[in-house]
């Protein structure tokens, strides 16, 4: 049985800051999960969702892009490396049988504009490459 770590006081405080920022960004909807330092953020325009995980020192923006069975095809691995080379923020990664797109932000000096531009970049990068990644898995 997996135990869920309770957020620290600093994570809860940082989550309140992120909650306030998210509520000020137009075009997004979000829900705060039972674990207070996790948000699921959706963008209306692309109809995609990502997770915003608030930690003590960083905010991680993580999107599940695709899942695959067996080994990752070499063509997909090459495509992901190529896409990482052109991504302005964040990177594609592989964890288990999932392709993710991740970006980490330092929370200490994070402002609304940086969070908003990061979320916009994550949604845009994934939406522009989703079809190519799916095709490379087939």
CATH number at residue 123: 3.30.1460.10
Q: How confident is the model at residue 87 (pLDDT cuts 50, 70, 90)?
A: confident
Q: Tokens for 106?
A: 């330092």
Q: Residue 92: what pLDDT?
A: 97
The answer to the question of residue 2 being in a domain is no
- The whole domain housing 121 covers 9-137
The answer to the question of residue 36 being in a domain is yes
The answer to the question of residue 116 being in a domain is yes
Average pLDDT on 5-33 reads 93
How is the beta sheet containing 58-67 ordered, strand by strand?
28-32, 38-43, 48-54, 58-67, 98-106, 91-95
pTM, 2 dp? 0.91
The answer to the question of residue 16 being in a domain is yes
The answer to the question of residue 4 being in a domain is no
**Nearest-CA neighbor of 67 among 96, 43, 104?**
96
- Distance from C-alpha of 130 to C-alpha of 80, rounded to nearest angstrom: 11
Confidence check: pLDDT of 4 > 70: no
Q: Residue 1: what pLDDT?
A: 54
Q: Residue 90: what pLDDT?
A: 94
The answer to the question of residue 66 being in a domain is yes
**Residue written as tokens 């989703």?**
130
The answer to the question of residue 45 being in a domain is yes
Q: What's the structural domain count of the chain?
A: 1
The answer to the question of residue 3 being in a domain is no
> What rounded mean pLDDT belongs to the chain?
93
pLDDT tens sequence across 77-86: 999 999 999 8
Helix (H, G, I), strand (E, B) or coil at 99: strand
Pairing label, strands 28-32, 91-95: unpaired
């Amino acid at each position: 049985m997996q135990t869920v770590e309770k957020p620290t006081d600093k994570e809860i405080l940082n989550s309140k800051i992120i909650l306030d920022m998210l509520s000020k960004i137009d075009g997004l909807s979000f829900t705060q999960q039972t674990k207070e330092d996790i948000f699921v953020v959706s963008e209306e325009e692309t109809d995609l969702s990502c997770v915003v995980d608030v930690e003590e020192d960083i905010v991680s923006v993580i999107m599940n892009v695709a899942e695959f069975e067996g080994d990752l095809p070499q063509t997909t691995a090459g495509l992901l490396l190529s896409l990482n080379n052109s991504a302005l923020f964040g990177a594609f990664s592989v964890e288990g049988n999932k392709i993710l797109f991740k970006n980490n932000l330092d929370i200490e000096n994070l402002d609304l504009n940086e969070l908003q531009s990061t979320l916009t970049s994550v949604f845009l990068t994934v939406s522009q490459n989703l079809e190519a990644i799916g095709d490379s898995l087939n």
